[in-house]
Amino acid sequence: MAQYDADLVVIGGGPGGYPAAIHAAKMGGKVVCVDFDNAGGTCLNWGCIPTKTMIGSVAALEQARHAADFGLKLGEVGYDFPALMARKDKVVKTLVSGVEFLFKKNKVRFLKGKGKLTDPHTVEVTLEDGKTERVTAASIILATGSVVAPLPAAVQVIGGDTSDADVFIDNREVKRRKAAGTLGKTTLWTSNEAVSAPEVPKRLVVLGAGAVGTEFAYAYRGLGADVTLIEFMPTIVPPADPDISSELHKLLTKSGIKVMTGTKVVAIDVPGKKLKYVSEKGDGELEFDRMLIGVG
């Protein structure tokens, strides 16, 4: 019988990967979990948790703004964006530490690096320092999740490209961009830039009104940005029940967000920071400071 380094290797440390690794370890298996970012995956580091934390701060801000409705006097209400983002980082760090604790408690070995299958029982891991480590296992689980969808090929990009928006922004990339002073400075954003931005843009266009797009539209509008939400489909959050979509549309509009459904962006002038669109209601142009690509 073949001898392996582990009973199980899990590639991916997100909501699918880390529970599988911990469960296998609890069953008595020798387990290794591999992820190129911090434990917890996209949901914990870049998705569900940071976005909901930002939204929680915005919701608290909205309540404070309406304190008079409850007979309360608070004076002028505002926010400190760096402090708001620091709170988000603290929440994420706490939960990442929780996953790391569970790994340690259940004796799951966590390798921070990029895993690659070299044969049915071998994973080659490129670690943060550039060194490689080969791990063999009787079984391997692939739990790598998804990636940010790029702009549709039909969209003409003028005077630039989408390379900045196509780079997956992990914690190492955030540190690199912070050091270079370029974090959040690119014209085109993915959701990862949106949760690590150093400041609130004056004019934000959100391309795609799915869950990601609507969340960030709400959050940045609550922080004072002039937000336009563009969706190709006739309704926002297309998979949702039509009644829910309709009510959400009303709420976003009431908050001051310009919602444009049934609208197709055909060209983006990156240096000029403007876009061209076509719709049944008429064609036109929009200017922006940042554009969040939230098409999938």
pLDDT for the residue 251? 96
pLDDT for the residue 149? 78
pLDDT for the residue 210? 94
Domain 1-146: which CATH number of 3.50.50.60, 3.30.60.50, 1.10.10.10, 2.30.30.100: 3.50.50.60
Kindly report the three-state secondary structure assignment for every residue of 204-248.
EEEECCCHHHHHHHHHHHHCCCEEEEECCCCCCCCCCCHHHHHHH
> pLDDT tens digits for 139-165?
999 999 887 777 887 788 887 645 444
The whole-angstrom separation of Cα 93 and Cα 91 is 6
pLDDT for the residue 167? 46
pTM: 0.89
pLDDT for the residue 219? 98
Q: Is residue 279 a contact partner of residue 260, using CB atoms and an 8 Å limit?
A: yes
DSSP state of 168: -
DSSP state of 12: -
**Of the candidates 180, 260, 193, 182, the residue with the CA atom closest to the CA atom of residue 220:** 193
pLDDT for the residue 168? 52
**Burial degree of 202 (CB within 10 A; 0-12, 13-18, 19+):** exposed
DSSP 103-152: HHHTT-EEEEEEEEEEETTEEEEEETTS-EEEEEEEEEEE-----PPPPP
The whole-angstrom separation of Cα 21 and Cα 30 is 9
pLDDT for the residue 187? 87
- Token readout for 241 is 């029940």
User: Which parts of the chain register pLDDT below 70?
Assistant: 1-2, 160-172
Topology of the domain comprising 156-293: FAD/NAD(P)-binding domain (3.50.50)
The whole-angstrom separation of Cα 141 and Cα 126 is 18
Instruction: Name the amino acid, one letter, at 89.
Output: D
pLDDT for the residue 1? 46
- Token readout for 34 is 């591999």
Say whether 156-293 and 1-146 share the same fold.
yes
Pairing of strands 122-127, 109-119: antiparallel
The number of C-alpha atoms within 13 Å of 37 and in the hemisphere containing its C-beta is 25
pLDDT for the residue 166? 47
All structural domains of the chain with their residue ranges: 1-146, 156-293
**Of the candidates 186, 195, 147, 168, the residue with the CA atom closest to the CA atom of residue 47:** 195
